[in-house]
Structure 1
């Protein structure tokens, strides 16, 4: 008769139970196949001075509680149908370090403080996500793509961050961000990391946004033939789905472009044309233009797997991609000089918009690379109301703070007495 119940001890795996009693964990197994499993139907707490290594598939039953305030290494599959938590003020870290495909599944949410995805396989194998996980501190994407099914997602809570996302590791599925802090959505599809960037301008109460990238033709969803007349050619290789699931704040959205996924005509554009973000409008039932400006990526992300950025203030949410449109003919009412080097030498010390003094009914907004507004002024002119390379204050950018060197995005709106006009584009600040 085949023995179904096996018992095995983990390798140097110590946990702290309530009451402070240290004990080696006994792995209780009940497997018809005879494969060892770490089954928990009680309470486990890993304290801040403890390291726990789990070498067998971990199963958290509905009655099971798992609190990680220390360091936990998971080398096999993870199944959670109970509670997975961290304590208040915890900095607990959970590492997924398998040498084969690891599945993260379960009917309840796994709540991590820090989570590190670092597959130790000699080949590129994925993590299969079949549940919802939350990140409260930091997620590190080192090696291994997180393939999330349609009912799963990675949720970043307010102030949660991530690092190291690249073509080697990202979320192939939905990423949700709660709150208004600046954020790069670490999304991609197939073997391509293609994030979006944005933040919100309000206080962020109730703000929830979700993003997902598809290396697919959006014409299969919404026919490209149904579009505004100004749109000439829509990207037929990729699109993003960006939704606002809570809150009312508008966003400045940045999409990413790269030769591995983006058609060449959007990277090497004819001088008579320009690239703009376009969105499918569910009310108008056609693709609409959201404008946009193209720039080089940020120096810190030069190895992240994309080569260009496309930014625009968007008027709605849903399916986004990029399109070629006719370049707008610039008028001579105002001339924008898009370089600022506030070093006091009298050259480009301020953001000069020549002629704007003649149109005092105007506004200027400047956003950083994440879509965070760093400057906002009305009745901008060429003398006293001018941008000098410093922030005018926001939740995430301190008032009077010298802004770092880099590329920023501006929106100029003014009324010339006949009609309202809008210009947008990139502004380079050299604050060195």
Structure 2
């Protein structure tokens, strides 16, 4: 058995890192982006869509609370495989639920379970990454982790939405088209489970950590040490407000593209939204993220953070223009792409600052707290965005979004940041 285990450990990370992080990105994209389009096409109101799908972020906000349980029970490998099977079941059940009269409530409950499974998979995968790879390999593959997660976004919000749009036309049945898509992704997770069951190494270090009596105390100490940082109020304001405008925009962007012109939207078809927002938009987002990393590595975070915040927020005005003018489709493509490119730049600066905050002996836990707060900063504005848009219309809503970007940019001048 040991020889078998060591043989597996010697496998190149190229055989499993791309697929592990692709499997991490697909559920995240489906739950946070594709679900919005699904419910819109099935006649749910913008207000209900934005509120309930925003609440699906809660497991990512709270995942640090059950991370110790994952750490002390079973192996990371077992957790990952179990969560992939769980995701297969959830996606299959969502597909079946779409034919029921009360599909909205039932599918939302299943999406919530899927979000919990996805967040748990994130914990196990990131832990496995550190146990299965050497320090040199971890440094080498860190960029590829992000790349394959982004490719999963492209697959989910681009290919799957485009495919569903074509199926809507071919089958002349919206529900059946979405059932087929979710069934397809469900099968994908069975294949991922089988593949990973065969190729994932079993590192000797991948063992449940021993529980000890100081564990709860240590968790309290970790949280206390995070909130004892210098200028913590400014740091919290920055984390919660930096993406305030974007958090509201991202929930309504695809709905705006789909809504008919008489309701203030652009009236695009499902497959066109898959191209405009899910394909060209995501490619632009990836490009912005790559450029952002290169700029920070060359000029440093202090010089780049404010320009990147401007790149994140200024393009929001494009949505004001599109809502007011209703431009031709050929102009919508570059406007959405430029907004997403700026989003990629701005999000890179934000991510690097969260890493900058991770100092001392609790780096991993501090980063988990920061990302949980980040998810909270996305969830709360997203939850109320639909109600605001419904009451004031798309043009006024996007103008308001532009004003909501200001507090986050102001907070940059108060946070601790040294080169």
Range into which the TM-score falls when normalised by the shorter chain: under 0.3
Which of the pair has the greater relative contact order for Cα pairs under 8 Å at 6+ separation? 2
More strand by share: 1
TM-score (norm 2): 0.21
More helix by share: 2
